[in-house]
Structure 1
Amino acid sequence: MTDRRIAVVTGASSGIGRAVVRDLVQRGTRVVAAGRRAERLTELTEQVRTAPGHAVAVAGDITQAGHTEELLATAEREWGPADVFVAAAGQGLPGTVLGSDPERWERLVEVNYLALLRQLRVVAAEFRKQAEPDDGARARDVVVIGSTVGRQVSAANPVYGSTKFAVHSLVEALRQEVCHHNIRVTLIEPGFVRSGFQEAAGYDAAWFEAIAEENGPLLVPEDVADVIGYVIGRPTHVHLDDIRLRPTRQRP
């Protein structure tokens, strides 16, 4: 069941994160929608105002110290302790090892890896603290958006892909650390998704359209959101911990 649950979703300004908020609220979940663009978050909360669940917006930078704690505190202040955390914030970077912009490497690692590591530490510690009084009687879910390029090396996109390889390792390690508390840590690995991600990262539009022509129809953010809703709705003793979803025609 996803109704009556309380969730925090990062990266909610656009793309997969935004779709996850919309999907969860339609399922009756109460959601803290976090992202960098306040106007986009306000627009989102207005769009779901009549849905069975509810959403409140918190604008901020996930790389800033204390931001994850602020999101959890907002959830508790509004409804009670969060029991779902979806980490959908992230950045892309086009180019190869030789061809990518080295001025963007540090920010990419900060957003995609270090910020996530801090998020996972804060959230897992909070969920474990919650689980101790009830002996893990119910599931608490941490869901992380990875990528198929975090499993299969891509010479065309290796800098971004390497951050996802690191993320995948963190997710599995954390799963092993907290699973005895019925905290389910799940990795979602999408293939090609048509969203604002590519444009924001500066990927070549013609290249992406060629990808879409060869591999499409591509996934859309709602496809990923639907899978996440299904995952966190499983009974407490069932954990779908690692899911890859691709367009049917995508080979690599």
Structure 2
Amino acid sequence: MTEARIAVVTGASSGIGRATARELAGRGLHVVAAGRRGERLAELVEESRTEPGRTIPVTGDITRPGHTEELLAVAEREWGPASVFVASAGQGLAGTVLGSDPERWAELVDANYLAVLRQMRSVAAEFRKQAEADGGAQVRDLVVIGSTVGRQVSAANPVYGSTKFAVHSLVEALRQEVCTHNIRVTLIEPGFVRSGFQESAGYDAAWFEAVAEENGPLLVPEDVADVIGYVIGRPAHVHLDDIRLRPTRQRA
């Protein structure tokens, strides 16, 4: 078993998840980097070869029941039980209640709510089992990526925002449930982040550039990853459980 902390990061083939996998490897953690795009994960592994922590890729769909357990099993087989899990995988959806594509609603809820709920349940159950075995001697971190639109309603993308509102409530509920086991459940709420997320969600490019002009410089995925690295590096008795970060010029 390795002495380094062991992490699983979902959504690691792009955006915040990818940057987080790099950040944690740079801090000396061994990382299971999970995502849907194998070629992007292979690039991530190659880029991370000089980092102090090792990175291995696992290609798969986090919305598939049982996939979280598979990721935890890979970590344990390679290095030992994971003590960090970052749930970063998710989808966006452009449009209002009237203007968004209803054919994509079920897919969005599956990816952003049900899959996150399954990850949280599986990881918390595993972490609690480990904590009961060692008396909570080791701190364990479950980090969930939310959004500022999960706290403040946005008329521009309320269907997407509603999935984040739901996840935010789950994070706090789970924190209360497992904190006595020395398990830290943390919500990270980014504002505008420039990444591939906007394009895959179908946001209008001209609209987003206008947002960037008004609110920028925007965050980049590495800004969020740096915060995650800081949070999991706090002493065991310190928990930064809910963090919002925005571009300095972002009003809402």
For the aligned pair, the TM-score class normalised by the smaller chain equals over 0.9
**Whole-angstrom CA distance in 1 between matches of 2:149 and 2:216:** 18
Deviation of the 1:133 alpha carbon: 1.7
User: What TM-score comes out, normalization by structure 1 length?
Assistant: 0.98
Q: Deviations over 1:111-166 (max 9, x none)?
A: 00000101111000000000012211121000000000000011111000000000
Aligned pairs (5 A) from 1:13-162: 13-162=13-162
SS at match of 1:31: strand
C-alpha distance in 2 between matches for 1:78 and 1:142: 20
Query: How far 1:9 sits from its partner (Å)?
Result: 0.1
Listed one character per residue, the Cα deviations across residues 25-60 of structure 1 (whole Å, up to 9, x for unaligned) are 011100000000001001100110121000000000
Residue ranges of structure 2 left out of the alignment (5+ in a row): none
Post-superposition Cα deviations, 1:147-200, rounded to whole Å, max 9, x if no partner, equal: 000000111110000000000000000000000000000000000000000001
The percentage of counterpart residues that share the same residue type is 83
Letter in 2 for 1:160: Y
Aligned to 2:246: 246
Deviations 1:77-111 (Å, cap 9, x if unpaired)?
A: 00000000000000000000000000000000000
Structure 1: any 5+ residue segments left out of the alignment?
Answer: none
2:123 is matched by which residue type in structure 1?
V
Q: Counterpart of 1:11?
A: 11
Kindly report structure 1 stretches of 4+ aligned residues shifted beyond 3 Å.
none
Find the aligned partners of 1:138 and 1:68 in 2 and give their Cα distance.
21
What is the number of residues matched between the two proteins? 250
SS at match of 1:186: strand
Matched with 2:236 is: 236
Q: Tell me which amino acid in the other structure corresponds to 2:153.
A: V
1:201 corresponding residue in structure 2 = 201
Q: C-alpha offsets along residues 203-243 of structure 1, whole Å, 9 cap, x if unaligned? A: 00000000000000000000000000000000000000000
Separation in 1, partners of 2:123, 2:206:
39
Rounded to whole Å, the distance in 1 between the matches of 2:96 and 2:200 is: 18
| Alignment RMSD | 0.7
Give distance in 1, aligned partners of 2:9 and 2:206.
31
Q: Report the AA paired with residue 216 of structure 1.
A: G
